[in-house]
Amino acid sequence: MAGFEDLIAVLPAWLMLLGGQLLLIIIPASAAFLFLYRWKGNPLRGRKIQPGFSSAATIRREVRYSILTALVFALNGFCIYLFMTEGWTLVYAEFSDYGWLYGTFSLVAAIVLHDAYFYWTHRLMHHRRLFHAFHRLHHTSRSPSPWAAYAFAPLEAVVQTMFLTILVFVLPLHVTVIYLFMVHMILRNVIGHSGFELFPRGTAAHTVFGILTTNTHHDLHHSAKAGNFGLYFTWWDRICGTENPDYRKTFARVTSRHIASEREEERTVAALKA
Ligand SMILES: [Zn+2]
Ligand SMILES: [Zn+2]
């Protein structure tokens, strides 16, 4: 067991984890928000998935809960760090120990396993006995913005972050692979919650690229509060019959639009000032 002096000695690691986690969430969410919601020249403004915009109060709430999520993630990251220093995990420091081929495989495996973990825990959190305590807060954002990606109730944040804690005990992972996994997770989540469709026309119905969840896929989950439980891939929803029946139709409609009308822009500006 680590003593008090040992804990003091690793305090900078805790601060680095907290700072890193905050930046990992704040930088992509702010960049996407400024680009899509604040920049008048946004070339994708015709690709807004839902007609309405969140109020400024909703965005502020999403920011507050995103910061709380970063704290929970950092706390768990610190626990993983302690487990690593005790030598309990399968995390390794030398890339040559397993080679590049395994390094690449482990990243893909982590993403595929995370998608499965997310799908099933997400469906579980939609159970009426669990929804209120775990997942209701995330669904308060009916028309998600980039800041909604990590707007979780603390209990849900714990569920989300526990995947990595389990993974480091079952799959050998290089530290860089863990970092790349985190960056991919946060970027896909922020993009998926952006409220705008960024994927090219035809993606949802494409034989190969159709396995990727588009932004419309998760946006529909927020607006309909049912179906489309997947995170990165569509296969679990397809296998389990939980894909929203309007998904491909909605994606085709949103991606057929081009530039927003001036009236839409005026409404956007008015909503953001509210
Ligand atoms: Zn949900
Ligand atoms: Zn969401």
Q: What number is the average pLDDT over the span 197-222?
A: 95
Residue 146 clears pLDDT 90, i.e. is over it: yes
Q: What number is the average pLDDT over the span 138-164?
A: 94
CA of 47 to the centre of ligand 2 (A): 18
Residue 209 clears pLDDT 80, i.e. is over it: yes
Q: What number is the average pLDDT over the span 194-218?
A: 94
Please return the burial class of 170, using the count of CB atoms within 10 Å of its CB with bins 0-12, 13-18 and 19+.
exposed
In a domain, 239, yes or no: no
In a domain, 146, yes or no: yes
In a domain, 127, yes or no: yes
Query: Closest-lying ligand to the alpha carbon of 121?
Result: 1
CA of 2 to the centre of ligand 1 (A): 38
CA of 149 to the centre of ligand 2 (A): 6
CA of 40 to the centre of ligand 1 (A): 31
Question: Which bin fits 108, alpha (ψ -120 to 50), beta or left (φ > 0)?
Answer: alpha
pLDDT digits (tens, 9 = 90+) for 153-201: 999 999 999 999 999 999 999 999 999 999 999 999 999 999 999 999 9
CA of 199 to the centre of ligand 2 (A): 17
Q: So what's the pLDDT on residue 225?
A: 73
pLDDT > 70: percent of the chain: 90
- DSSP structural state of residue 25: H
In a domain, 224, yes or no: no
CA of 89 to the centre of ligand 2 (A): 30
In a domain, 225, yes or no: no
Q: So what's the pLDDT on residue 21?
A: 85
Q: Which helix (H) or strand (E) holds 192?
A: helix 175-192
Residue pair 95/156 in contact (Cβ under 8 Å)? The answer is no
Calpha distance 47→218 (Å, rounded) = 15
Neighbours of 1 (CB within 10 A): 4
**Helix, strand, or coil (residue 53):** coil
Q: So what's the pLDDT on residue 4?
A: 63
CA of 122 to the centre of ligand 1 (A): 6
In a domain, 172, yes or no: yes
Q: So what's the pLDDT on residue 197?
A: 94
196 - beta bridge partners?
A: 48
CA of 223 to the centre of ligand 2 (A): 10
pLDDT digits (tens, 9 = 90+) for 78-113: 999 999 999 999 999 998 899 999 999 999 999 999
In a domain, 233, yes or no: no
Q: Spell out a b/e string for 67-95, using b for 16 or more CB atoms within 10 Å of the CB, else e.
A: ebbbebbbbbbbebbbebeeeebebbeee
Confidence class for position 60, pLDDT limits 50, 70, 90: very high
Residue 217 clears pLDDT 80, i.e. is over it: yes
174 - beta bridge partners?
A: 92
Residue 1 clears pLDDT 60, i.e. is over it: no
In a domain, 210, yes or no: no
Residue pair 44/89 in contact (Cβ under 8 Å)? The answer is no
Sign of the C-alpha dihedral computed for residues 112, 114, 115 and 121 taken in this order: positive
Q: What is the mean pLDDT of the chain?
A: 90
Q: So what's the pLDDT on residue 55?
A: 87
Residue 37 clears pLDDT 70, i.e. is over it: yes
CA of 92 to the centre of ligand 2 (A): 32
- DSSP structural state of residue 127: S
**Helix, strand, or coil (residue 92):** strand
Q: So what's the pLDDT on residue 180?
A: 96
Residue with the larger pLDDT of the pair 109 and 272: 109
Residue 2 phi, psi dihedral angles, 5° rounding: -75, 135
Query: Closest-lying ligand to the alpha carbon of 152?
Result: 2
Q: So what's the pLDDT on residue 262?
A: 46
Total number of domains in the chain: 1
CA of 118 to the centre of ligand 2 (A): 11
Boundaries of domain holding 10: 4-196
Q: Which residue type does 153 have?
A: A
